[in-house]
Every structure is written in structure tokens, then in C-alpha cells.
């Protein structure tokens, strides 16, 4: 177990397209463990491998804190509906912005044994899946923000 350094906006690794995983080696398993540790340590609901500097199509998600999801080579098969809400990213610390996403997605991915499976998600899980998959193609949510990117600290002061 190890906490890895989270790359932040401006780091060119975040704008690169990731490669498909062809084999889950010991090193890949270690990376996956570290991604979960790093995500939980940072209080995130999702993390993509490029955020720890690795250009592989691997994503970890946990929107409840007790439902870890690993997606290897994920592909969105279906999406529908719409949700508009605040989004944030561990690579853009202290910031949030409004992004419109589908309210439902169905994704196909592989588990750590390279067995394919399908997963459906709504609401926050659908949002997290869309957000994390975009990281694998070098995109950050800030490209999609409607209006201004806001400081989380400013929003908390207003409350
Ligand atoms: Ni992110």
C-alpha cells in the first residue's frame, strides 16, 4: 500500500491519451491498490491512472465510501437523461464548477482478472464514470464547466 502523488492541472500527463491494458501484471495490481489508497486518502470519489502519472486505461471509483469499483479499459455503451450539478477533481484542488452530464450510463469494462463486465450507474455514479473516463483521453472537467470555475472555500463562506 502506498499513497501516490496526485498530478495537478498544468501537468502535461493529464492531457495525454492512455493506453489500453492488455495484461494485469503484479505491477498493475500494485498500481490499482495504490489508486484506491490514494483516492480514499484524498477523500475523492474517483481517480484515473493518469492522475498518478500512469498512462493506462484504469479508473477507481467509490461514490459511497463502501462500494469500490475498478474499471479497466472502460467504454460507455449507453447514456441517457441529464443532470446538472457541481463537479470537482483531485487534480484541480479547491475548485468546483457546474457540469451537465447524463443521468444514466452503462459501461463495459474489465476487472483485475481481465474478465469483462457491465455496470450501470445513475446520478453521482454516472457523473463519476463520465468524469473519470474523460481523464483517460486527456480531458479535465474544467473544459466543460458552465460559467466560472469557483473556489470551494468561497462557496463554503456563503453558507
Ligand atoms: Ni478528475
Rounded Cα distance between 24 and 9, Å, is: 28
Query: Could you give phi then psi for residue 20, rounded to 5 degrees?
Result: -65, 145
For residue 125, the CA-to-ligand 1 centroid distance in Å is 13
Strand partners, 39: none
Q: Report the pLDDT averaged over residues 32-47.
A: 98
Q: For residue 155, what pLDDT band results from cuts at 50, 70 and 90?
A: confident
Per DSSP, which regions of the chain are E strands?
A: 46-48, 58-61, 69-80, 83-87, 95-101, 104-110, 116-122, 146-151
Q: For residue 147, what pLDDT band results from cuts at 50, 70 and 90?
A: very high
Q: Is 148 a catalytic residue?
A: no
Grouping H, G, I as helix, E, B as strand and the rest as coil, residue 93 is coil
Q: Report the pLDDT averaged over residues 94-98.
A: 97
Residue 101 vs residues 15, 54, 67, 75, 145: alpha-carbon distances, Å:
20, 26, 21, 16, 11
> Which residue in the list 112, 118, 123, 132 is annotated as catalytic?
132
| Spatial CB neighbours of 10, under 8 Å, sequence gap ≥ 6 | none
Helix (H) or strand (E) holding 41: helix 26-41
Give the pLDDT score at 111: 98
For residue 23, the CA-to-ligand 1 centroid distance in Å is 25
Q: For residue 138, what pLDDT band results from cuts at 50, 70 and 90?
A: very high
Q: For residue 130, what pLDDT band results from cuts at 50, 70 and 90?
A: very high
Count other Cβ atoms within 10 Å, centred on residue 129: 28
Rounded Cα distance between 137 and 88, Å, is: 18
Give the pLDDT score at 157: 75
For residue 140, the CA-to-ligand 1 centroid distance in Å is 6
For residue 88, the CA-to-ligand 1 centroid distance in Å is 7
Residue 136 vs residues 1, 16, 73, 118, 133: alpha-carbon distances, Å:
23, 8, 9, 18, 5
Buried residues in 133-149 as b, exposed as e (16+ CB within 10 A): bbbbeeebbeebbeeee
Is the pLDDT confidence value at 100 over 90? yes
Give the pLDDT score at 159: 57
pLDDT tens, position by position, 48-78: 999 999 999 999 999 999 999 999 999 999 9
Give the pLDDT score at 40: 97
Is the pLDDT confidence value at 87 over 80? yes
Mean pLDDT, the chain, whole residue set: 96
Give the pLDDT score at 48: 98
For residue 2, the CA-to-ligand 1 centroid distance in Å is 20
Amino acid at each position: 500500500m502506498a499513497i501516490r502523488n496526485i498530478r495537478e492541472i498544468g501537468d502535461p500527463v493529464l492531457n495525454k491519451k492512455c493506453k489500453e491494458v492488455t495484461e494485469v501484471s503484479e505491477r498493475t495490481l500494485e498500481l490499482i491498490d495504490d489508486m484506491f489508497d490514494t483516492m480514499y486518502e484524498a477523500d475523492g470519489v474517483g481517480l484515473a491512472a493518469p492522475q498518478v502519472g500512469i498512462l493506462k486505461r484504469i479508473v477507481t471509483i467509490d461514490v459511497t465510501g463502501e462500494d469500490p469499483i475498478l474499471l479497466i479499459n472502460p467504454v460507455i455503451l449507453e447514456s441517457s437523461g441529464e443532470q446538472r450539478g457541481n463537479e470537482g477533481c483531485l487534480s484541480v484542488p479547491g475548485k468546483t464548477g457546474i457540469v451537465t452530464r447524463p443521468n444514466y450510463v452503462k459501461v463495459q469494462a474489465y476487472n483485475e482478472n481481465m474478465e469483462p463486465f457491465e455496470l450501470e450507474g445513475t446520478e453521482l455514479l454516472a457523473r463519476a464514470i463520465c468524469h473519470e473516463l474523460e481523464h483517460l483521453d486527456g480531458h479535465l472537467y474544467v473544459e466543460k464547466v458552465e460559467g466560472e470555475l469557483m473556489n470551494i472555500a468561497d462557496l463554503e463562506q456563503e453558507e
